[in-house]
Chain A
Amino acid sequence: MKKKLGILLALVLSIGTILSACSSKEDSAAEKSGKNGQPYEIKWYTVGTPQKDTDKVFAEVNKYLKKKINATVKMTQIDWGDWAQKSQVMINSGEPFDIIFTNGTDYVQNAQKGAFYAIDDMLNNEGKALKQTIDPALLEGIKIDGKTYGVPTNKEAARQSVYTFNKRLVDKYHFDITKVKTLEDLEPMLKVIKEKEPKITPMATFKAYLPFDYIFNGEMPFGIPFEGDRDHVVNPFATDVAMQTYKTMHSYYKAGYLKEDAATSKDSWPMDVENWFVRMGDSQPYADLLWSRSAKYDVVSVPAEQPVTINDSVSGSIQAISATSKNPKKAMEFLTLLNTDEYLRNLVDKGIEGVHYKKNSDGTIEDLPARIDRYNLPTYSLGNHFILYLYKNDPKDKWEKFKEFNESATAAPTLGFHFNSDPVRSELAAITNISKEFYPALATGSVDPESYLPKFNKKLKEAGLDKVLKEIQKQFDDWKKTQK
């Protein structure tokens, strides 16, 4: 009797094992490859909506790669919204794969955790060609404790915030936007728009710009001014600039230039809805052209700052080799090829010639419908932009302009400095909460800075602002000593 009951239980436990055994076949093949002539399969995870023609394109890619480096690539895309959570679980669980897309703080944290393979040695061997191709500012900027943990996408390395205007309205009222340098300069135009264009919101909600190099992001009260004392970390919200800017913003808000729910609204102001006059964004060469194309009406921008190379702008898109990779050398060879080989780069990005795009006689290309419907990859995440084919309506000097843009940029004081927040974790958590409460209201002008800014700063002080500032300063000084 007892035995039979035991059997019943054993049955339950074994169902799981049996069912799972059905699906565990393909594991052993991947492991022994790369040595005995078998092409090594590189597992590559990158961001974006999975596409229908991925297999078709990668069959071509693999044909080419087998010849070149005796490897094949299995690329898997993870959808935009799933990316953050899924990639984090994959990394934390130590799943074996070779290459993964990463950016920003994710990159820094995972690299500090040891999730990525340091590629400095390989950059001098397998990746020599790669090192020569990529803008040194990018490679320098993503170094963490002196080591490189990924291959940055070679594109614009700097950030330039711009005010973007709706060109139709600018022309209609003959505004001279070239004179706009600061937030205050917008006033006369906003006034006209508010009076004469009732259907247009004069300002698409944006957070007022402050000229600081932020340690975390614009919301957190830690930054180094771009101008003046570039050696000391301060609280930007305690400066006169902040007070001045937020006052202006508040007067705009009171005048009704912004939507009333600006501080809390999640409205993203898509470009293709023509209901705004001025907005703020990050630019790159010929950005107006791209924006106009996606908006389907003309926009025109004026810079709000000089191009500046900051940590965020260099780590916007990185392909890192996983520490769990079984063959990092092959992965590096592939990344090198992806960033230097024009055929491969365009194949991965644009698909197959004649199927996804067609080539014109002058070397430019045009998308065929299949590129949009079946193989639409996010160009920015994949690799070197400067070897991409130009579209028919692209300016001929597009990539030259990018290079000029990168060369004209100045390096931010903290470029390459990555703060280790472990010692002040609890203070930072408190400060984050306070910032989340005050910052959106202040930066959109929804509240009066005269009363709210001091309140904000007082609360920050109570939460341990000074301690964090001190810690950042200490690490910053230490880091500077190691720089030549």
Chain B
Amino acid sequence: MPKLEQNQPTVTMPSSLEGMKGGGIKKRRKKYRDPQALPPVVNTIVSVLLGILAITCIFPFIYVIIISFTSEESIVRNGFQLIPKEWSLDAYHYLWSMKEQLFRSYGVTIFITIVGTIISVFMITFYAYAISRPQFKYRKFFTFLAFFTMLFSGGLVPTYIVITQFLHLKDTIWALILPLSMNAFYIIIMRTFFLKSVSESILESARIDGASELRIFFQIIFPLSLPGIATIALFSTLGYWNDWFTALLYIDNPNLVPLQSLLMKIEANLEFMRQNMDIANMQSSLFNTIPQESAKMAMVVIATLPIAVSYPFFQKYFISGLTIGGVKE
């Protein structure tokens, strides 16, 4: 990989692409003093700036990791420190002691992320493909239907009513999966993607060969659109992994609480305790289960690590996918 890309702080799609291009050009023409290359001074300044940006992005997370290894005593006495006076593994011991709930939540999160992403990708691409084909008579209507929800959403309470009272999803795992599975914005993205990247002539040739509509979709459209599909799959994976709000609304059963929601619960409980010291002091055992600062940070670490670690794999796929050419006409 070119040098510049490693400095790339956040992995948003367009900038990392640029990073690649820039790096590539630089590499090739290094010896010839390319008129388009940045002068060395500017190059250094830009690198330093990007480096600083990268550090500001990554620093909080490193700090979180350090705090998670700090002893509680040390936090109370000296506050958060970069190099704590006392190190300790207590926070992770604590997490180990609640491993039952933790593993459950991990399982729930992984399940909803995988199943959710699959369902979501199929629903979105089906819908988007249908409204991208000019032969489909009602496509304007269905496009508008999707588009309309982007402008006007039902709001929290009506959504809640639909999900709990019409669909009866409350306290089931589907309540975590289905509400997030359709996304009008992704539908529009995919529709545009299908329109732009899949040419009608390919489909026509398939039809001439006698392929059915479903076969066309799975054997021609799907492989051709992989870059676009990978993008929305990534987005919905992140969406499912980070989602805590739907769980807050629809889940009462502790066995169905996903990881992020568990984190939020702990955080919210701490906040509640702060504001209601009277209750906490009167019945002290009630809040015993709430971890202290370092344990909180340790939870953030274990909740974020898997997704952070798997991101590079995704990203690689994601960029190469995008750069694969579609059809040349």
Chain A: residues with CB nearer than 8 A to chain B? 1-2, 4-9, 11-12, 15-16, 19-20, 22-24, 27, 48-50, 76-83, 85-86, 89-90, 92-95, 266, 268-273, 281-282, 284, 287, 290-291, 293-294, 372, 376, 378-380
Q: Would B157 and A93 count as touching, CB distance under 8 A?
A: yes
Q: Would A80 and B272 count as touching, CB distance under 8 A?
A: yes
Tell me which residues across on chain A come within 8 A of B137, comparing CB atoms.
2, 6
Offer 19 A-B interface pairs, CB within 8 angstroms, sorted by A: A6-B136, A9-B127, A15-B123, A16-B178, A24-B168, A50-B252, A50-B253, A79-B269, A89-B160, A93-B165, A95-B165, A268-B273, A268-B277, A270-B277, A270-B280, A272-B284, A281-B281, A293-B284, A376-B285
Q: Would B133 and A81 count as touching, CB distance under 8 A?
A: no
Chain B: residues with CB nearer than 8 A to chain A? 76, 119, 122-123, 126-127, 129-131, 133, 135-138, 142, 156-158, 160-161, 164-165, 167-169, 172, 174, 178, 181-182, 212-214, 217, 248-249, 252-254, 264-274, 277-286, 288-289
Residue among A11, A27, A81, A95 with the highest chain B CB neighbour number at 10 A: A81
With A79-B265, A378-B279 already in contact, the answer to whether A89 and B167 are too (CB < 8 A) is no
Measured CA separation A278–B282 after assembly (Å): 18
- 4 shortest A-B CB distances, which residue pairs? A81-B268, A294-B284, A24-B168, A4-B213
Main secondary structure of the interface of B (DSSP, over half): helix
Measured CA separation A24–B170 after assembly (Å): 10
Q: Which single residue of chain B is at the shortest CB-CB distance from A92?
A: B157
Tell me which residues across on chain A come within 8 A of B164, comparing CB atoms.
93, 95
Measured CA separation A24–B178 after assembly (Å): 15
**CB < 8 Å: which of A5, A22, A269 contacts B213?**
A5
Main secondary structure of the interface of A (DSSP, over half): helix
With A76-B252, A93-B161 already in contact, the answer to whether A82 and B265 are too (CB < 8 A) is yes
- How far is the CB of B123 from the nearest CB of chain A, in Å? 5
- How far is the CB of B195 from the nearest CB of chain A, in Å? 14
Tell me which residues across on chain A come within 8 A of B156, comparing CB atoms.
89
Q: Which single residue of chain B is at the shortest CB-CB distance from A45?
A: B252
**CB < 8 Å: which of A20, A48, A293, A379 contacts B168?**
A20
Measured CA separation A287–B160 after assembly (Å): 42
**CB < 8 Å: which of B126, B160, B178, B181 contacts A8?**
B126
- How far is the CB of B287 from the nearest CB of chain A, in Å? 8
Tell me which residues across on chain B come within 8 A of A49, comparing CB atoms.
269, 286, 289
Q: Would A81 and B272 count as touching, CB distance under 8 A?
A: yes
Q: Would A82 and B160 count as touching, CB distance under 8 A?
A: no
With A5-B130, A89-B157 already in contact, the answer to whether A20 and B136 are too (CB < 8 A) is no
Measured CA separation A380–B278 after assembly (Å): 11
Q: Would B283 and A380 count as touching, CB distance under 8 A?
A: yes
Tell me which residues across on chain B come within 8 A of A379, comparing CB atoms.
283
Q: Would B130 and A281 count as touching, CB distance under 8 A?
A: no
Tell me which residues across on chain A come within 8 A of B273, comparing CB atoms.
80, 268
Q: Would B281 and A290 count as touching, CB distance under 8 A?
A: yes
Measured CA separation A19–B116 after assembly (Å): 12
Tell me which residues across on chain B come within 8 A of A80, comparing CB atoms.
268-269, 272-273
Tell me which residues across on chain B come within 8 A of A24, comparing CB atoms.
167-168
Tell me which residues across on chain B come within 8 A of A85, comparing CB atoms.
248
- How far is the CB of A466 from the nearest CB of chain B, in Å? 31
